[in-house]
């Protein structure tokens, strides 16, 4: 119940404010109705704010009412700072290896025999032909299908050999694509941790900055970020003995991989080298409970291309074992009992629920295109946060006090009423942030101060308009009406333009910039409510009671 209420709280309070501004301003509700609404929203806001104030709450409160809290950003509460380096050279090598597999299939289709296809230390493909007479056919296939390659004559004994590599422009594109994919994948994985107001942004050519507010022990994040999540499907070679391969070396075309650690160690597997399918065809991965004996397992959904590949793979290899490999570790090697259409795959392996969940996260959030190294790691202590909070509170208190005193002295009674509206604005702003479980950062505090300034500007425009109408001989009732009506266009335009700027900052900004944008946009809504609805309600109430005989402005 509490979780459901908590999810509905921000929607309800923002909806209430929006409806109040639209309905009461356009239809002109009575002053008493507006005051009741202001009191009701203030009471709701205070209830939502209590958990953020550290007040001890009774059990019934958390059972029936939402308990959201304002979160503090890295600059206020501390957290983890990680600088990651993406091995883009490895991404290029992996892309070349995949193109090498494509080349091997294309040559087989064209009945061009090769003696060997391998990669050197730089990742370049080395192709050796069996028959020199097929040289022209080979060159034609490469020129026609693989025009992203440069080609040089190789050296060595035997048939003709060639060295293939990406063209410079293609290599740059592969590196750029790998960096973009790594950035998006890491951002998706961090989102799975449930940490709010994180910063994940590119630094230079091959580095990514990650900041995690509130995470003092970054080991979980490091483990999740660092997994390359290269998912591969290969056939197990049961025609040779794996123990013999361990002693004498794997036969040509095979390799030795190990399973996940268990009580008996790591089981070795002799697997064939060709990769039949990779994880780029995965569209979703979910944990399923399984039975009491086998434990939880992970279901993997494949896209159409992956479903077709898996269908053909299982159809052609019934009775053989298929190794499901993640980061060179065999997670499962089930026997293919029948053709499996539809793109539904199960990964079993005596998982704990935590292991299965971590595996599903990695598969679901995507594979990193290359290994990632953590080259810098810092844990920001909370002492910095306390200093920042204290400085931020001081700046806010001094600024707010100066504004409130100025308004009261310069506009007298109208200034005191404006001060009430400003105070209500800040209260509602903080309450809405608590309902949204927004993250407060130093830029966010700056947004609150700016919101205060915007609200002051609106009240100044209204008060100056009322002064002008009184000087022109208008009655207090007419001065109030004309003051609000004629100031509305200027207040509306300035707030709309600022709100639009906040939306742009939120859409294209990252980290603390988004925190500033959220505070600014919410503050504009609460500011309009407190200025246009609440302060006007007091004047309307006095008018309805025939007690507005003069205006102190």
Q: What is the pLDDT of residues 529-543, one digit of tens each?
A: 888 777 887 887 787
pLDDT at 7: 43
pLDDT at 457: 85
Smallest Cα–Cα separation from 101: which of 236, 234, 227?
A: 234
Q: pLDDT for 487-520, tens place per residue?
A: 888 888 888 898 898 889 888 876 667 778 888 8
Smallest Cα–Cα separation from 534: which of 49, 52, 45?
A: 45
CB of 132 closer than 8 Å to CB of 162:
no
What is the spatial distance between Cα 398 and Cα 392, in angstroms, rounded to a whole number? 10
Q: Is 543 exposed, middle or buried (0-12, 13-18, 19+ CB in 10 A)?
A: middle
Every domain of the chain with CATH number 3.30.1360.200 lies at 79-87+172-379
What percent of the chain stands above pLDDT 90? 9
User: Helix/strand/coil (H, E, C) string of 509-530?
Assistant: CCCHHHHHHHHHHHHHHHHHHH
What is the spatial distance between Cα 21 and Cα 464, in angstroms, rounded to a whole number? 22
- What's the residue count for the chain? 553
Total Cβ atoms within 10 A of residue 131: 14
Smallest Cα–Cα separation from 204: which of 220, 183, 229, 231?
A: 183
The two structure tokens encoding residue 55: 């007040």
Residue 313 has pLDDT above 60, yes or no: yes
Which residues are CB-neighbours of 289 under 8 A, at least 6 positions away? 296
Architecture of domain 2-76+382-544 in CATH?
Answer: Up-down Bundle (1.20)
What is the spatial distance between Cα 13 and Cα 467, in angstroms, rounded to a whole number? 34
Architecture of domain 89-171 in CATH?
Answer: 2-Layer Sandwich (3.30)
Domain range 79-87+172-379, CATH class: alpha beta
Every domain of the chain with CATH number 3.30.1360.100 lies at 89-171
Which of 79-88, 154-163, 232-241, 419-428 has the least mean pLDDT?
Answer: 154-163
What is the spatial distance between Cα 293 and Cα 328, in angstroms, rounded to a whole number? 26
Mean pLDDT of the chain: 80
Residue 49 has pLDDT above 80, yes or no: no
Edge-to-edge order in the sheet of strand 79-86: 199-203, 207-213, 79-86, 372-380
Residue 5 has pLDDT above 50, yes or no: no
Q: Are strands 297-302 and 344-347 parallel, antiparallel or unpaired?
A: antiparallel
Report the run of H or E that residue 331 belongs to, with start and end: strand 329-332
Assign 201 to helix, strand or coil. strand
Edge-to-edge order in the sheet of strand 114-119: 114-119, 125-129, 161-166, 149-153
What integer is the mean pLDDT of 175-182? 86
pLDDT at 278: 81
Residue 337 has pLDDT above 50, yes or no: yes
> Among 17-21, 147-151, 524-528, which range has the highest average pLDDT?
147-151
Q: Which pTM value belongs to this model?
A: 0.52
Which of 4-13, 115-124, 240-249 has the least mean pLDDT?
Answer: 4-13
The dihedral over CA atoms of 345, 350, 356, 362, expressed in degrees to the nearest 10, equals -70
| 491-517: burial string, b at 16+ Cβ within 10 Å, e else | beeebeebbeebeebbeeeebbebbbb
Every domain of the chain with CATH number 1.20.1640.10 lies at 2-76+382-544
pLDDT at 3: 34
pLDDT at 4: 34
CB of 210 closer than 8 Å to CB of 198:
yes
What is the spatial distance between Cα 189 and Cα 285, in angstroms, rounded to a whole number? 13
Total Cβ atoms within 10 A of residue 363: 23
The percent helix, strand, coil of the chain (3-state, each to 5) is: 55, 20, 25
Residue 270 has pLDDT above 90, yes or no: yes
The two structure tokens encoding residue 304: 């159409």
pLDDT at 345: 82
């Amino acid at each position: 119940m509490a979780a459901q209420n908590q999810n509905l709280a921000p929607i309800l309070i923002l909806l209430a404010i929006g409806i109040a501004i639209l309905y009461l301003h356009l239809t002109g509700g009575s002053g008493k109705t507006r005051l009741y609404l202001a009191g009701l929203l203030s009471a709701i806001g205070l209830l939502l704010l209590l958990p953020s104030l550290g007040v001890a709450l009774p059990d019934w409160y958390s059972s029936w009412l939402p308990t959201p809290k304002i979160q503090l950003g890295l600059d206020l509460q501390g957290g983890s700072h990680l600088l990651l380096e993406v091995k883009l050279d490895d991404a290029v090598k992996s892309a070349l290896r995949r193109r090498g597999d494509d080349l091997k299939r294309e040559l087989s289709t064209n009945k061009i025999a090769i003696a060997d296809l391998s990669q050197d230390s730089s990742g370049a493909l080395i192709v050796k032909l069996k028959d020199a007479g097929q040289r022209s056919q080979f060159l034609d296939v490469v020129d026609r299908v693989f025009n992203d390659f440069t080609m040089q004559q190789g050296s060595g004994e035997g048939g003709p050999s060639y060295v293939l590599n990406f063209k410079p422009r293609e290599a740059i594109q592969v590196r750029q694509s790998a960096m973009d994919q790594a950035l998006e994948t890491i951002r998706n994985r961090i989102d799975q941790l449930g940490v709010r107001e994180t910063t994940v942004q590119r630094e230079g050519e091959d580095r990514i900055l990650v900041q995690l507010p509130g995470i003092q022990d970054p080991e979980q994040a490091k483990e999740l970020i660092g997994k390359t999540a290269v998912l591969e499907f290969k056939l197990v070679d049961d025609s040779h003995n794996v123990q013999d391969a361990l002693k004498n070396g794997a036969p040509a075309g095979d390799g030795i991989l190990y399973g996940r650690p268990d009580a008996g160690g790591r089981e070795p597997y002799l697997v064939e080298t060709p990769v039949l399918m990779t994880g780029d065809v995965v569209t979703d991965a979910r944990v399923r409970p399984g039975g009491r004996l086998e434990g939880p397992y992970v279901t993997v959904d494949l896209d159409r291309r992956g479903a077709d590949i898996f269908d053909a793979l299982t159809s052609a290899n019934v009775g053989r074992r298929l190794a499901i490999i993640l980061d060179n570790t065999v997670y499962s090697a089930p026997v293919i009992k029948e053709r499996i259409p539809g793109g539904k795959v199960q990964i079993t392996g005596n998982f704990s629920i935590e292991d299965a969940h971590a595996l599903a996260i990695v598969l679901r959030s995507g594979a990193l295109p290359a290994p990632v190294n953590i080259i810098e790691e810092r844990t920001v202590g909370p002492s910095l946060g306390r200093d920042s909070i204290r400085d931020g509170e001081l700046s806010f208190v001094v600024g707010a006090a100066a504004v409130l005193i100025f308004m009261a002295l310069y506009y007298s009674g109208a200034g005191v009423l404006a001060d009430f509206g400003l105070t209500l604005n800040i209260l509602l702003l903080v309450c809405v942030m608590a309902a949204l479980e927004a993250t407060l950062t130093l830029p966010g505090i700056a947004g609150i101060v700016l919101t205060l300034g915007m609200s002051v500007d609106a009240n100044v425009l209204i008060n100056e308009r009322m002064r002008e109408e009184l000087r022109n001989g208008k009655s207090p009732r007419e001065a109030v009406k004309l003051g609000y009506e004629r100031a509305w266009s200027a207040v509306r335009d300035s707030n709309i333009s600022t709100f639009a700027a906040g939306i742009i900052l939120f859409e294209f900004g990252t980290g603390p910039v988004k925190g500033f944008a959220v505070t600014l946009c919410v503050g504009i809504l609460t500011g309009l409510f407190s200025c246009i609805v609440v302060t006007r309600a007091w004047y309307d109430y006095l008018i309805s009671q025939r007690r507005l005989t003069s205006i102190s402005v």
